[in-house]
Structure 1
Amino acid sequence: MPSTMKQWTVADTNGFDGLKLATDAPIPQIGEKDVLVKFHGASLNYRDLAIVKGFYPFAQSPNVVPASDGAGTVEAVGSGVTRFAKGDKVLTLFNQAHLAGSLDGYSVTTGVGGTIDGALRQYGAYDEQGLVRMPANLDFLQGSTLTCAGLTAWNGLYGLESRALKPGDWVLTQGTGGVSMFAVQFAKAAGAKVIATTSSSEKGEKLKALGADHVINYKTEPNWGEAAKKLTPGGRGVQHILEVGGPNTMAQSLKAISIDGVISIIGFLGGAKGEEQPTFLECLNNICTVRGVLVGNRMQFEEMNRAVEANDIKPVVDEKVFSLDQTKEAYQYMWDQKHFGKLCIKID
């Protein structure tokens, strides 16, 4: 095994030029409970772009190795490791200390690619508790998409146990980003009905091919919330909405939700500020639950992976795959919204 490796770091947070590549970074040392992972694939999330551009609202460390989502093989294990062995195929857990239950003040600060070095390097060392086995039906690029987007979608649909997705429920997704695409796949595998919104007929056809029952073009139908509600039996509304747009889409989501439905706020792709800012009173008026979701815990990750295997779910990966050396270009490609599904980086 070599003694040095290629590794990207976030040297500055003023744009993509803040990403710096080292070709002679030392390979991490492992302790008694650590696992050394040889990375083969990584995928990018909007969060990665936000970190480099300086508007990520959660904790981050200077010169951190970016990207929470990594897939690889176990190269070596510490003397006290019991969960993995050399050769196992593994994935990184987003918040390393979030093993089960709800987040707490500490676990929310243990984000890979934020405070803990991430996957845009050839080797990484992690506590054995911060890894999960990769589903056997996936390759490394597909597997690398699950850490953030996959688990976030799963948490959005199943994380609130009293309102967990069940067969026959209606689900509304927004756009064709990673979380939304996973939500379509998970919902259909569970026997739910899916309404997807998008900006073009071309993307709409791809969503239908993925399993969406109805597609609404939000550019030609700006009042898509009411349109979605009318599609449901008796106009009762949808039971689950994965809200990725932020303030600019929340008002429409509230129009689409059913009584006792759940809106899981995932992100703010439409911007953190918007013209339409619903008040808390709107939750009362619509008799619904609105919850913030920050990925999920390891127990949920393992549950999701079992479902991925059992249903042979294949993550949607953009046709353009970048090399580790092309990381800056990958960031720009994603920022320009040229991708469809998850954008992946192959690591040799």
Structure 2
Amino acid sequence: MGLPTTTRAWSITEIKKDSFDTVVLKDSVPIPKLGEREVLIQIEAVSLNYRDLAIPKGLYPFPINLPVVPGSDSAGIVLATGPKVTKVSKGDRVCTLFNEHHQANPITPEAVKSGLGGAVDGTLREYAVFGEHALVKAPSTLNAIEASTLTCAPLTAWNALYGLQSKALKPGEWVLTQGTGGVSLSGIQFAAAAGATVVATTSSKEKAEELKKLGATHVINYKETSNWGEVARSLTPDGNGFDHILEVGGPGSLEQSLKAIKLEGVITIIGFLAPSDKQPTLMEALNHVCTVRGIFVGSKQQFVEMNLAIDSNKIKPVVDSNIFSFEDVKKAYQYQWDQKHYGKVVVKVAN
């Protein structure tokens, strides 16, 4: 059999704030001719992020170009390569890079504008052509569904803990994570594997037990403990606070994170999920003598480093038990929007 020339692909055609109706499945979309440094892959699985839900609803704060194939995270098998491709070969399992041009830190304006599924066509299609620079070999210890979750959330957690080289996570340090989203779950796994002590927050007793299984030493219910920042800080040696805090809530939780951070610690701002009229000012970084750092996923170099750590520590990403078919993408969107998931929501593309 020859290589495919068309593919089925999902497309976001316009913004509609109250539904996912503008996410539509298209048949027989032409596959572009393979360039000399390009790779044709059969996409096996795609995992979803909150961003994927925010884009069709007009809630995403970064540039998008409509119509666009949604999705940034995926794992697939290389079917063919251009003549100048050297990093991957036919038959390799690969993962997609969130920002195609983010090869190494620091991130550039060009890289910010190269996000899959927003600025450029993404992964919710059966076959796709990507530049070699936009792909990373998947960890050998993971299957396709597990590997499809790595592009955004785990890489963001890795960047949070290791991206600021002068303050990269060290064994024996203390890390605070928030909730049970993909970044936080990966942050717990990476920090525990590195020999750090992890304190996590969550909203239920059931979730607390799951977080402990992943490696959290202490778990605080933030619904029962409104001053969770101070309580978390009291758990650290001499009450000095945390070396790293993965801040995923935004203005609604940053106030507590500032109470928990140690002198010269790092708060990495990742999410924007909890609006609040109590947003701390930038001057709070001075008052607490800490680094407050915003990040946008991570680089290809960091992706390679992360995958080595995943293989060497046999880390398994947390995947929701409900796996969706390619035809049921909108059901997957609604399932995650309704917050019925625990771990990454995955769409299985290839049978």
Residues 45-86 of structure 1, C-alpha deviations (whole Å, 9 max, x = no match): 011111111111111111111010010000111111111111
Instruction: Determine the structure 2 residue equivalent to 1:193.
Output: 197
Q: Does 1:306 align with 2:314?
A: no
Residues 71-108 of structure 1, C-alpha deviations (whole Å, 9 max, x = no match): 00001111111111110110001110110121111111
My pick for the range that moved more, 211-220 or 276-285, is: 276-285
Counterpart residue identity of residue 302, structure 1: V
Instruction: Determine the structure 2 residue equivalent to 1:206.
Output: 210
Residues 102-126 of structure 1, C-alpha deviations (whole Å, 9 max, x = no match): 1111111000111121110001111
Query: Partner of 1:251: helix, strand, or coil?
Result: helix
Instruction: Determine the structure 1 residue equivalent to 2:328.
Output: 326
Residues 201-224 of structure 1, C-alpha deviations (whole Å, 9 max, x = no match): 000010011110000000000110
Counterpart residue identity of residue 293, structure 2: R
Query: Partner of 1:76: helix, strand, or coil?
Result: strand
Show structure 1 runs of 4+ deviating over 6 A: none
8 A contact 1:28–1:123 mirrored in 2:
no
Equivalent residue for 2:240, pick from 236, 240, 255: 236
Q: Does 1:175 align with 2:179?
A: yes
Instruction: Determine the structure 2 residue equivalent to 1:289.
Output: 291
Q: Does 1:118 align with 2:125?
A: no
Instruction: Determine the structure 1 residue equivalent to 2:153.
Output: 149
Q: Does 1:76 align with 2:80?
A: yes
Instruction: Determine the structure 2 residue equivalent to 1:56.
Output: 60
TM-score by length of 1: 0.98
Instruction: Determine the structure 1 residue equivalent to 2:30.
Output: 26
Consecutive unaligned residues in structure 1, runs of 5 or more: none
Percent of aligned pairs with the same amino acid:
56
Residues 227-253 of structure 1, C-alpha deviations (whole Å, 9 max, x = no match): 000000100001101100010000000
Query: Partner of 1:260: helix, strand, or coil?
Result: strand
| Residue 314 (structure 1) shift | 0.2
CA distance in structure 2 between the partners assigned to 1:236 and 1:290 by the alignment:
17
Equivalent residue for 1:92, pick from 96, 101, 111: 96
Counterpart residue identity of residue 185, structure 1: Q
Residues 119-151 of structure 1, C-alpha deviations (whole Å, 9 max, x = no match): 100011111011000000001111011100010
Query: Partner of 2:183: helix, strand, or coil?
Result: helix
8 A contact 1:167–1:192 mirrored in 2:
yes
Query: Partner of 1:5: helix, strand, or coil?
Result: strand
Instruction: Determine the structure 2 residue equivalent to 1:36.
Output: 40
8 A contact 1:321–1:344 mirrored in 2:
yes
Equivalent residue for 2:249, pick from 227, 231, 245: 245
| Residue 3 (structure 1) shift | 3.0
Residues 190-209 of structure 1, C-alpha deviations (whole Å, 9 max, x = no match): 00000000000000010011
TM-score by length of 2: 0.97
| Residue 4 (structure 1) shift | 2.4
8 A contact 1:260–1:288 mirrored in 2:
yes
CA distance in structure 1 between the partners assigned to 2:287 and 2:124 by the alignment:
45
Q: Does 1:269 align with 2:269?
A: no
Instruction: Determine the structure 1 residue equivalent to 2:318.
Output: 316
CA distance in structure 1 between the partners assigned to 2:5 and 2:308 by the alignment:
36
Query: Partner of 1:147: helix, strand, or coil?
Result: coil
| Residue 25 (structure 1) shift | 1.6
CA distance in structure 2 between the partners assigned to 1:214 and 1:149 by the alignment:
22
| Residue 24 (structure 1) shift | 1.9
My pick for the range that moved more, 203-212 or 23-32, is: 23-32
Counterpart residue identity of residue 237, structure 2: P
CA distance in structure 2 between the partners assigned to 1:29 and 1:175 by the alignment:
44
Residues 269-315 of structure 1, C-alpha deviations (whole Å, 9 max, x = no match): 113xx121111121111110000010011100000000000000000
Q: What's the Cα RMSD here?
A: 0.9
Instruction: Determine the structure 1 residue equivalent to 2:8.
Output: 6
Instruction: Determine the structure 1 residue equivalent to 2:280.
Output: 278
Residues 167-205 of structure 1, C-alpha deviations (whole Å, 9 max, x = no match): 011000000010000000000000000000000000001
Counterpart residue identity of residue 197, structure 1: T
| Residue 28 (structure 1) shift | 3.2
| Residue 27 (structure 1) shift | 2.5
CA distance in structure 2 between the partners assigned to 1:107 and 1:227 by the alignment:
39
CA distance in structure 1 between the partners assigned to 2:185 and 2:111 by the alignment:
27
Counterpart residue identity of residue 192, structure 1: A
